[in-house]
Every structure is written in structure tokens, then in C-alpha cells.
Structure 1
Amino acid sequence: MNDSKLPLVNHFSNLRDSPKWGLKLLITIILTSLSSIISVYTTDWESMYKYSGLSESQIEQTISITKMSSIIGSPFVSLITILITFLMFLLISKLMKSNASAKVVFSATTSYTLITGGISLIILLIQWGTGLSPEDYNIASLNIFDKGNAILGVFNLQTILGAYIFGIMLFSTNQLSKRASIIWSILYIIIFIIFGLIGASFQN
């Protein structure tokens, strides 16, 4: 198969010559902030604090503070997440002795977070529109077959798509070999599943 025909290959390849990131960064922060805001308003906060021992007025006050701080802090959390992701991608680039500059890697990072963030927002909007609580279901995961099953929620189509975009980025932008890019993509999936299962174990 001609690699250039794979989705997003040309985009990430072009970043080596035109590593623009400003507008992508702004759009990414807006998208991820929207996701956070929608999540805030689709979360059943009352049930979360139901057995906290707080009075009804204390629960209402706590929920209001939580919502407000989540909305205000979402752009900053988004920016910090992007920077951490960039540092991880830059470290991988250096470990694999890629000749991609830090600016090129950052541009690729903003593309990666923009695409994955866009996918997450679309899924969240679909769930919001259909009345499916993200606490109970994730339509992109196996959890759609078992309400509230956090373990099944770990096995997520978003992880597969993220691994694909990550691998394409390494192959096209960092110019790693096809074999190395595939290996890193597999590691991406394994790491996300392991951490997801650890997180899910605390919810059960």
C-alpha cells in the first residue's frame, strides 16, 4: 500500500516544512474546554455527593464551586496537558534520534491533540444529544454493552484512533521507520489500557 494514501500521512509530513501551531493550539484549547464544560453539565453531581455526609445546602455549594472551578480552569488544564504531551513526544523523538526540531514536534503535538480532542468532543456531543450519561456509558467502548462497567470502558475505540494518529505522526513528522512507528503505537495502546485498568479498579 502506498503510505501517502493513509489518512493524515500528508498532513503530518507537511508539518516538517510548515510547522505552524498558533491557530491549532487555540482551537484545541477551545475544543477541550468545550468538552470539559459539557462533561460538567452531564455529570450527576448529586449522586456523587449523596453519601458524602454533607447537608443538602453544603452539597449544592460544593457542586456550584466544582462546576465553576472546572469551567474556569479547563483552558489552563488543556494547555498543561498539551505541554506535557509535547514533552513526552519530544523525549521519544530524541530517544529515537529523530531530526525533527522542537518546533516541528510541537506543531505535530497540537495536530495530535486537536484531532483526538475533536473526536472526543464529537462522541461527547452524541452522548449528550441522546441522553447517555458519560458516567454510565462511553459509546466508543465496550462499556456500551454493560452500563457503568469501568473495565469494559477501558477498551475504547478512541485509544485505537489515538494510537494510529500517534504512529502516523512518528512515521511522517519524526520520520521513524514503519516498524518503529508500529511498535510505539502498540506500546501506546498497552500503556493506555494498563493505566485505564488501574483507574477502573479503583472505581469498582
Structure 2
Amino acid sequence: MKNIVVVNASPRKGWNTDTLLTHASRGAESEGATIRRFDLFRLEKYTGCISCFGCKKEKNKGHCICRDGLTPVLDAIRESDGLIIGSPNYLSEVSASFRALYERLIFQNLTYNVEHYCCNAHPVPVLFILTSNAPDTYYTGLVENYRQTLDRFVGPTDTLVCGDTLQLKDYSKTDWPWNLFDADAKKVRHENVFPKECEKAFQKGAELVRKSAGNV
């Protein structure tokens, strides 16, 4: 049985990122995997990389030595058969919580050695999900940069971008008009397109498990 770690880097329970991760998890479970999920905004206090270089010592190779709320997440990923991680887009970037985990996940495996730049002895497949209020095409470069780095230091990485998302159930209740976009069109898209993106997440979650089993 494959063990898949799912990481939610969004603070909004029940919304776009959370929902897509739930469907990806169900896809993984449909292939017989067990899920261990972490919601980064509900963990004990943690930070990004503190540049202590403890992971660059031979005895700590591939292990971040900073002990805080992210430690069990890093440990679980290291022992897993696959990683599904999702974040909303904030100001043309992933969330700060995603970045904190990402820094420590990647840097612990970076050796600064030309011949062996990565010391990750257990690569696992990754599914990276990004959601955004802007259209999908706005973040092609951003997503590709993360894909390449995750691919290099964690394992073969697939992506799913869900853009033009619905942010609120009722845009009319804001204190001033959110007239930068068409709220009615967003609702229609959420009703007609978002379910298809949830199905994509389900399929990609299932595919990740098959990859971890060497069947894809």
C-alpha cells in the first residue's frame, strides 16, 4: 500500500485549493493509497529556512535539523511514496506557508557538489497544484520554475493550474465594488468548469500513485 502525503498551503478551508487537494487525495485513494494530510496554516509555529547549514553536515545529509511545526511534515514526505501539494497564488507567488516548506524541503537535499548536487536518496512523484484568481496562463513561468526544482530535488513532478477561481460566494457583500472582473462570470465558471478541474485533480492523484508503483 502506498503512503501519500498531502500538503495544503492555503488558509481557506473548503475553498479552491482545499477542494482540489481533496479530489486529488480521493484519486490516490482509488488506487489503494493511504493519505496523510497536513494543513500548514493549522500547524504549530514554524519558519522557512534559517540558513544554519546543519543539513550540509554528513551526519544530517538530507535532513533539516530545525525542529518546529514543519518537522513532522518533512519527516512524513521523506518516508512517503508520493507528495501532493497545493497553494493559492498570492501577489504573483505561492503562499508564504508554501515557501517556508519549499525552502526547507529543497535546501536539505542541495549539496553544493557539482558531481552530486542532490542527496535525496528516495525520490517520490509530486503533484503541484496552484490556484489563482487570474487566468491559468498568467503563471506558466512560475509553475514551471517550481516544477523543475521539485523534479530535481524531490521527484518527478506533474502540475495542475486552476485559474480564474471564485473567491467569494457573494461578491455583492464586499464593502466596495470588486469591479476588476466579472463576478457573475466567475460564478458561472465555478459551476461549469471547476468541477472538471476537480476531476483532473482526481485523475492526477490516481496517476501519481501509479507512478509511485512504477506502472506509468
Which structure: greater strand fraction? Answer: 2
Larger radius of gyration: 1
Fold conserved between structures, TM > 0.5: no
TM-score by length of 1: 0.27
Which structure: greater helix fraction? Answer: 1
